[in-house]
Structures are given as structure tokens and as C-alpha cells.
Amino acid sequence: MVGFRDGADNEIQPTEKPMMRADSSGRFARWRAWAREPALTALLVLELLVIFVLIPLSGLSVFAARSIQVHLASLVVVAAVALIAPHRAALIVTLLAAAAGWVAEAFRYVWPSELSQLVILLVALGFLFVLTGVIGRVVFGPGRVSAHRVQGAVVVYLHMALVFAYLQAMVLFFAPGAFGDGLVATDPTVGGRLLYFSFTTLTTVGYGDIVPVHPFARSLANLEAIVGQLYPATLLARLVTLEISSHQE
């Protein structure tokens, strides 16, 4: 190995440790780039499990709802932050949002009150916005559209229902009776019922068992119904078309 010489004609041997660290960092970066899109599929499976299996089980008191929220939020953070976040800034922001959620959950456990409940709602909304932004950056970013990206777009669609559920929870918090006598903010199952209402509104099914009566609750329901129709018909359909075209080329 050829070294360098200083002014005193002494040979300075180059160190190999920085080169080894750089090579390891390069391999890790390549692995993250390869795993980023498959992680979207893993995240979709995880969220389907949470939304359509574990949350209903918590509503039946099979599991503790609070415990499910904490541990499953941690799984989502690990899946999304470790693989999906394309840049260090996105990684840091997502970790900060997740940490704020853990602190807020601890705050509610130590000091249960209306204030702690409001903090949980605000932090959860912030975390959802950050996580959706990170996923959307990968899904709608440059590059060939793959089936993993299409599945990531479905994750964004699921997040829309979650965001509107939390927004309706905010309305119910500040305006008790926003859904008549059908929903009460102190009911431990209100979160699952609002999520159910959100999905039926997003898909414009509208069974009518939960009816918004407050003006803001109605306005959010109308907005969610519009978004729920436009997103699959435009962005999601466009991604599917591009994915099919990439296979035909």
C-alpha cells in the first residue's frame, strides 16, 4: 500500500478504518434504498391488521386499548422510520413526532384529564401528518412506479380515514353532542366508533347509525366524502395505470 510523506520525509500510512466505515455506510444505504419500497407493503399489512383486527378486539375488551396504541405505534414507527424515510431530516422529524406521542401517552397515564386527552389528540394528528408526508414522498416521488408504491398509496388512503377520525374527535371534544346521543367523548370505545364512522364516510357507504349534527362535524364529513371519491379516482388510479405500463414496456 502506498503511503504519503510529510515535510520531514516521514511516511504516513493511511488508515483503513474510515474506508471501512464508509464502505459499511454505503452498503447500509444501498440496503435501505432496496428495502424502502417493500417496506411500504409491510406497513400496509401492519396497518390493516391494526385497523381491522386489533382495534375491534380492543373495542370488545379483548385487549387493553391503550396498550395496543402504544405498542403498535412503536411498530409503525420502526417500519416507517428505519426503512421508508428517504432523508435524515424526515427520519429525525418522524422520530420526534413519535417521541412526542410516547410522552403524551405517559402524561395521560400519570395525569388523566381533559387536557391530557386534548394533548393526545393533537400529538396523534401531528404524528399522522408527518408519517403520511414521509410515505407520500416515497409513493409520489420520482422513479418507476411499482406495486409496492401502489400499496403505499393505499396506506395514504387509510391514513386519510385516521386523520378525519381524529379531527372528528376534536370536534366531539370541543362540542359534546356533535353526533347527537350516539357518541360520547368519555365512552372508552368512542375512538373505534369514530374510526368506523370515518371509513363509512370516506367510502360514502353511510349506514346512518352515526349522524353528525354539529355544523363542523357535517362539514368534515362532507370534505372526507369528497376526498374519499377523488383520491382513488385520480391519484390512485393514475399510479395503477403507470404500474401496469411499466410492466408492458
* pLDDT digits 0-9 by tens, 102-121: 787 777 777 877 888 888 88
Q: Which has the minimum average pLDDT: 7-11, 154-158, 198-202, 223-227? A: 7-11
Q: What is the pTM of this model?
A: 0.80
* Residue 102, domain member (yes or no): yes
Could you list the residue range(s) of the whole structural domain that residue 241 is in? 35-248
| Within a domain: 80 | yes
Chain mean pLDDT for the chain: 78
In a domain, 223, yes or no: yes
pLDDT of residue 167: 95
Residue 183 in domain: yes
**Residue 59 domain flag:** yes
Is 187 part of any domain? Answer: yes
Residue 78 scores a pLDDT above 70: no
Q: Give the chain's domain count.
A: 1
**In this structure, is residue 55 part of a structural domain?**
yes
pLDDT greater at residue 106 or residue 13? 106
HEC secondary structure over the chain: CCCEECCCCCEECCCCHHHHHHHHHHHHHHHHHHHHHHHHHHHHHHHHHHHHHHHHHHHCCCCCHHHHHHHHHHHHHHHHHHHHCCCHHHHHHHHHHHHHHHHHHHHHHHCCCHHHHHHHHHHHHHHHHHHHHHHHHHHCCCCCCCHHHHHHHHHHHHHHHHHHHHHHHHHHHHCCCEEEECCCCCCCCHHHHHHHHHHHHHCCCCCCCCCCCCHHHHHHHHHHHHHHHHHHHHHHHHHHHHHHHHHHC
In a domain, 24, yes or no: no
